[in-house]
Chains A and B, each alone.
Chain A
Amino acid sequence: MGFDRRAFIQLITGGTVGILFTPVVWKLLDDVSIWTQNWPWIPTLKYGEKTDRPTVSKICNSGCAVNVRTVAGKAFGTEGNPENPLSRGGICPMCSNGVQLMRSPNRIKTPMVKGADGSHKAVSWDEAMDALTGKLQAAGSSVGFISGDLTGTANEVYSAFVKGAGSDDFFKLPGSNQAASRAWNGLMGGNGQIGYDLPNADLALLVGADAFESWGPTVWNQKAFSDARPMGEKPSCKYVFAGPSQQNTASVCDEWIPLAPEGEAAFMLGVAHSLLQTGMTADASDFNAFKTMVMKDFNPSKVEAAIKVPAASMASAAKQLRAASRPVVIPSGNSVAAHAAAFALNMLLGNLNRKGGMTTVAEFPLVVEGAMTPAETYEKDVVSWFAKGANPDVLITADCNPVYSLPVEVKAGFMVAIATEMNETAAAADLILPAAHPYERFDDLQTPYGVSSAVYTASVPVTDPAFDSMAPADIVLKLADAAGSGLGVESFSEVLMAKAEMIGAEWDDYFGVPSFETEAVAEQNGPSLAARTLAKAAAPVRGTGAVALAPYTMLTVGTDRQATTPNAPCVVSRNQIIGDTMVVMMNSATARKIGVGEGSKVKMAGGTGSAEALVHIYEGVLPGVVAAPFGFGHTVGDEFSKGKGDNVYKILTVTSEAATGASVWNGSTVNVTKL
């Protein structure tokens, strides 16, 4: 039988009719469309009992008192702790992403040692601790320690351990905390930790202090600000911001005095000049020397010539401070001189330990034998230590990222990183030890710098550890034990319980110490106005570059210790980053002068490095200044931070402040070239 034309037509027609009636084709088409559109995985939600458990979250520098929300025993969210005075229900954008960070794929899951080829390989805890103990024994007293914790009792454990090894080299990261301590407890001979009674002030002069976004206890500050501005009613406090650019804090302040970072101390002494002229005095032994010095060197026209702030602005600030009944001046940055000038100004205003003024908060007593006091630790300047060529045999870093954030090279014979997440320091370290996340460990938070009364919060682990990690303080206790310089305690939880008992706070096994507050004030023994030092240290020193650099910190972008958190990049605007390139801001006059415009790609060279950025024209920046965000430019980390923008810490110009010797970079400048 042949295959003729008729058979062919019959086959085609029959086939077509058959296909039309069979469901197989349509079913297949349907399946293809479903399966290509299907989710590759289905997210499942956990259901069960929901609880709120109080804990401390030390992801931001100041630390937040938070409630971790759990469902069926698993943490899923973080909220402020309404019962705690530091939070009163508020939380910073960094800590509100705490649970997501805890589950980040960037977490360090196991101890690791660096091999000969430079890559890290996993080892057991025992092997890691044995290796480190051996290194420590060989190092003797050549041991350094950098702690990223500014508020914890863990620092007592660390410093006692370092002391036990016969070394003094225990450091905290530089910042306003350090400058304040060096100015008050060092230069001026005061006692206690400085706080600013923002909740009761009626005029706050914030000198460079971005108090509502990154400086000091931001949430506590913001709560005070919120109370002082009842909606629709008369505000009870006026805020004046003196700084180089209008960032978040300046946006809500009543007045902005444009001021370059290096001019802060001179500006405040210029204000002091006006106050002294009206006959104001301070109860200090060197008041006369201070007055003579200010009257001679800091008359407003002289200061105007040096820092380009109109004399009238200083006179107006002085007038407002005088007229206010509870004024307070808040400094910032690394300059010890600026802090001393602010404290002198506060003393001149007579607000020391007065309602709404500058307070000297009594520090909680030390509980670990042989530990350094906070003031002692702040006297140690990690930047100048490395700048002078320090190269300890063993350097331990805990909860910090000095390789990324210090504007000097970090050198050590054997570097140990105790960290929760992979970062530049861990990548450079010879040994990496996985630290427990704040929600997985015992920890505490003693009065963050800036808070006006003594507040203690301690926490217990609120969720199961995600990985085989250990609290940094427990690691150090074990090391001390192995080294034979045991600190007399088994675990960090014991230390915290002892601390709670010592200060009279009640310890609860389920809640720790959710909140404990005292009004204890440190007694003063005739603090001085640091007249002699200020005479030499307050003059502004600017680098030689074409444009001054005004770096700023936003918690959504990152800090010196913590890169941006998983949900934060959506929050970061196009004024900070576009694509993978950082954005810097300058006003139109500056841009014209250096020949750039909106969107120009530029290279900024300063210090020992350079950074690439796109220009955004923003009129809220002082002429001759470029405002750049800290926190970008990570070379190690998760996909949200790695390769995003450039690292502004590496283009800072570090100098030693005259008379105080502090490492400062407030006079940093950069040369900007168009690419």
Chain B
Amino acid sequence: MQTKEFKIKWGMVIDIDKCTGCGACMVGCQVENNIAPMTKKDPYNYLQSITKDRDDASNKLRTLTWMTVYELSNGEKFPNHEVAYLPRPCMQCGNPACVPVCPVIATDKNEEGGIVSQIYPRCIGCRYCMAACPYHARYFNWWDPLWPEGMDKVLSPDASVRPRGVVEKCNFCHTRFMNAKEEARLNGEDPEKLAEDAYIPACAEICPSGAIVFGDLNNPDHKVHQLAKSPYSFRLLEKLGLDPQVYYMSKREWVRMQGDNHAAKAKH
């Protein structure tokens, strides 16, 4: 398997020892990306009496959470039990499992920056990519996005709204990337050499405990470049060879063990 290399490789280093699992990143992500709250009733469904309600947010198989916080446990009994939280965006794999299986090239990795794209109008909703992604980072729109009355007036101008029947996923707030490049051009700077704070996804920006650091993994001036090489850093399921651009960090060995890299070659 060959990994496509880029000059710029946007990536994250998430410090699990700093994540309190508060959920601010998840809420921030949904607001930024126009993910509709889960509403049970559909006012446009004129056959409500004979159809069943839509799913609500407690059905985690139907929610759209591009960023999800997982709970990890060391599996010990009281009082030796420990808990940790792991935020999971799209890993933007260097060698993504989702791209080659897409029959309509609705998802691709071919843009400088290494962000795996998702082209909603092209997606036919076959969900092969979801089956292929080992990180469960992809979500299917089971329902039309509906905002409670009036709440559609506060949609973000930065993300198009997706219809029922297509797959979507985290794209590192790609509009922010485009805006940052545009601003760099306007300021006469090189859009290929963005400063570390010029482009930050919503989750990394909002995180109150600073657990998410974002930057160009290839740029030695960006913090992530060094952090990714820390002895405490690891990636999830590295053994699969997908070369994710999201790194995790923890000083707790049991947390690192759960990254499940026992077969991975230490190459980072």
Contacts and interface: CB of A to CB of B under 8 A. Distances in A.
Contacts of A623: 78
B26 A570 contact: yes
A71 B21 CA distance: 30
Interface in A23-55: 37, 39-41, 43-48, 50
A425 B26 CA distance: 30
Contact of A45 (B56, B160, B209): B160
B38 A40 contact: no
A476 interface: no
A218 interface: yes
Contacts of B65: 570-571
Contact of A232 (B26, B210, B227): B227
Interface of A is mostly: loop
B30 A76 contact: no
A231 B249 contact: yes
A251 interface: yes
A40 B154 contact: no
A91 B208 contact: yes
B148 A573 contact: no
A355 B233 CA distance: 33
Given A96-B28, A102-B154, A251-B20, A640 B210 contact: no
Interface residues of A, number: 84
A567 interface: yes
Contacts of B78: 258, 587-589, 619-623
Nearest to A557: B23
B83 A620 contact: yes
B163 interface: yes
A97 interface: yes
A102 B148 CA distance: 12
B226 to A, nearest CB: 8
Given A77-B32, A91-B206, A251-B85, A566 B148 contact: yes
Interface string A574-610: 1101111000000111000000000000000000000
B85 to A, nearest CB: 6
Nearest to B231: A232
A619 B73 contact: yes
Nearest to A106: B148
Contact of B58 (A92, A212, A577): A577
Given A93-B22, A246-B83, A622-B78, A41 B30 contact: no
B60 A225 contact: no
Interface of B: 13, 15, 17-24, 26-28, 30-32, 34-35, 37-42, 44-45, 56-58, 60, 63-65, 69, 71, 73, 76-79, 81-85, 144-145, 147-157, 160-161, 163, 165, 205-211, 213, 223, 226-227, 230, 232-233, 249
20 contacts: A37-B165, A40-B44, A43-B152, A47-B157, A74-B153, A75-B154, A90-B209, A90-B210, A93-B22, A225-B20, A231-B18, A231-B213, A231-B230, A232-B227, A258-B78, A258-B79, A567-B26, A570-B64, A571-B26, A638-B148
Interface of A: 37, 39-41, 43-48, 50, 71, 74-80, 89-93, 96-97, 99-100, 102-105, 107, 212-213, 218-219, 222-223, 225-227, 229, 231-232, 246, 248-252, 256, 258, 466, 554-556, 565-575, 577-580, 587-589, 618-623, 638-640
